[in-house]
């Protein structure tokens, strides 16, 4: 394991130092108005105090306050902040926005066994405290289940919210609860926290990967009906130190296929072209070739077995299309297939669906638009010695709706990259 992770994990067993203190919430009510001036003044003072405390209760807590609460509640010996990130990430969904406002990775040592199960039965580990805001900027009530699962490549299970580590009035799931069917009124904005626990063994694994993903569900137009999504699902990235944050930032220059989103390894740009703008009609849709990127790719240790057949290095071709769906049927993006022809058409291969960023059921809705990415895995040696100076052509289609019905009558569109 990398030395910095050994040092970081070793800190779990070392002395933890953290500043910050919690504050008790008190409720006061104004006394009835009395005739004397002194009693009136006292009553006004009490009212002012009540208003201040009500305002304070409605505000989001600070991370030091939450850490202090967690330490006290779990009877932990000590806690320590390993890393904190305060630059927001936002996912927009047609009038509904979700933001990961900030997060803090906190080590927690020797806590009560009552809290050990979500930590894989360990009594030391770490917790990611994540602050989220869900905002409805539309003029209609929407419904949003705030299930922000944390995932990583080698994880066998999702890391879900362990809300008992947080004060009830700060828990996002209590602010958007099931008994209201997760209702979010027009113009309403809700901020709350989610806690993700890790035992020391799992923490070692996830930190070795360098980052994790937060899955962001789509909003829903109808209560208790997940067949009416508003916008589409998204993802946020959690990093574990400043180096990881810088790597995530530099990763933004690449098209966000699954390789980039899931941090499967390192990309290095070979060649790119953007703003091509070549359009073809296919069924009731206009498909526009927007751009492409050739990258040299080195998978990480976890993903390497998937690419073990590529003995001479790997080049990835990621192609971006824009889909303008003018028809009355949705167009499925998750199962759209294509062929790449190389070596002046002498060889071809299909796109690699497992490297597509499109989630199951993702569509370009009827009358709407969408981005489509197609990814191809190339032998780097053949690319360098044979293919790179010859023609690359793509045959895309046919198009299918979200019930797997062919909506382009078997027709395909052809695009020339170079």
pLDDT digits (tens, 9 = 90+) for 249-272: 888 899 999 999 888 889 999 999
Domains of the chain, by residue range, sit at 63-242, 264-416
Task: Check residue 154 and give its pLDDT.
Answer: 63
User: In the structure, what pLDDT confidence band is assigned to residue 98 with cuts at 50, 70 and 90?
Assistant: very high
Any bridge partners for residue 99, and if so which?
A: 90, 133
In the predicted model, what is the mean pLDDT of residues 230-255? 87
Task: Check residue 49 and give its pLDDT.
Answer: 42
Mean pLDDT score of the chain: 86
Higher pLDDT residue, 195 or 228? 195
Exposed / middle / buried, residue 295 (Cβ in 10 Å: 0-12, 13-18, 19+): buried
User: In the structure, what pLDDT confidence band is assigned to residue 13 with cuts at 50, 70 and 90?
Assistant: very low
Contact, 213 vs 237, CB < 8 A? yes
In the predicted model, what is the mean pLDDT of residues 111-129? 96
Q: In the predicted model, is pLDDT for residue 137 greater than 90? A: yes
292: tokens are 């492409």
Contact, 280 vs 343, CB < 8 A? no
pTM for the model:
0.72
> Phi and psi (nearest 5°) for 48?
-60, -45
Q: In the predicted model, is pLDDT for residue 377 greater than 80? A: yes
CATH of 264-416, one of 3.30.70.1450, 2.60.40.4170, 3.40.50.300, 3.40.640.10: 2.60.40.4170
- In the chain, the percentage of residues whose pLDDT exceeds 70 is 85
Q: In the predicted model, is pLDDT for residue 210 greater than 90? A: no
In the predicted model, what is the mean pLDDT of residues 36-45? 44
In the predicted model, what is the mean pLDDT of residues 220-234? 85
Question: Are 63-242 and 264-416 in the same CATH fold?
Answer: yes
Q: In the predicted model, is pLDDT for residue 45 greater than 50? A: no
b/e code 82-96 from CB counts within 10 Å (16+ = b): bbebeeebebebbbb
- Report domain 63-242's class: mainly beta
Higher pLDDT residue, 61 or 301? 61
């Amino acid at each position: 394991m990398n030395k910095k992770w050994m040092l970081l994990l070793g800190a779990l067993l070392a002395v933890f130092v953290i500043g910050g203190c919690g504050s008790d919430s008190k409720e006061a009510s104004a006394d009835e108005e009395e005739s004397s001036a002194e009693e009136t003044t006292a009553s006004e003072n009490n009212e002012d105090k009540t208003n201040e405390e009500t305002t304070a209760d409605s505000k989001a807590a600070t991370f030091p306050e939450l850490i202090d609460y967690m330490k006290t509640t779990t009877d932990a010996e000590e806690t320590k902040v390993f890393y904190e990130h305060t630059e927001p990430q936002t996912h927009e969904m047609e009038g509904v926005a979700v933001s990961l406002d900030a997060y803090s990775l906190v080590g927690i040592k020797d806590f009560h066994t009552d809290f050990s199960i979500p930590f894989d039965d360990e009594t030391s580990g770490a917790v990611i405290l994540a602050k989220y805001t869900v905002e409805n900027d539309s003029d209609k009530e929407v419904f949003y289940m705030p299930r922000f699962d944390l995932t990583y490549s080698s994880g066998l299970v999702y890391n879900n919210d362990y809300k008992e580590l947080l004060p009830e009035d700060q828990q996002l799931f209590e602010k958007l609860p099931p008994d209201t069917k997760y209702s979010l009124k027009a113009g309403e904005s809700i901020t709350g926290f989610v806690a993700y626990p890790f035992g020391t063994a799992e923490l070692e694994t996830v930190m070795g990967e360098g980052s994790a993903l937060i899955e962001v569900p789509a909003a829903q137009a109808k209560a208790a009906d997940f067949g009416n999504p508003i916008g589409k699902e998204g993802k946020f990235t959690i990093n574990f130190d400043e180096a990881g944050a810088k790597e995530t930032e530099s990763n933004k220059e690449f098209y966000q296929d699954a390789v980039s989103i899931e941090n499967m390894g390192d990309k290095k740009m070979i060649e790119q072209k953007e703003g091509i703008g070549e359009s073809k009609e296919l069924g009731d849709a206009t498909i526009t070739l927007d751009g492409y990127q050739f990258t040299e790719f080195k998978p990480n240790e976890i993903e390497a077995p998937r690419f073990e057949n590529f003995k001479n290095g790997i080049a990835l071709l990621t192609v971006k299309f824009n889909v303008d769906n003018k028809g009355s049927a949705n167009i499925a993006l998750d199962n759209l297939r294509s062929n790449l022809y190389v070596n002046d058409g002498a060889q071809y291969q299909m796109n690699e669906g497992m490297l597509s960023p499109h989630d199951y059921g993702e569509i370009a809705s009827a009358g709407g638009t969408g981005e489509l990415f197609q990814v191809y895995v190339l032998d780097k040696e053949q690319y360098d010695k044979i293919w790179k100076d010859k023609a690359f052509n793509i045959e895309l289609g046919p198009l299918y709706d979200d019930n797997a019905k062919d909506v382009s009558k078997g027709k395909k569109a052809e695009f020339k990259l170079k």
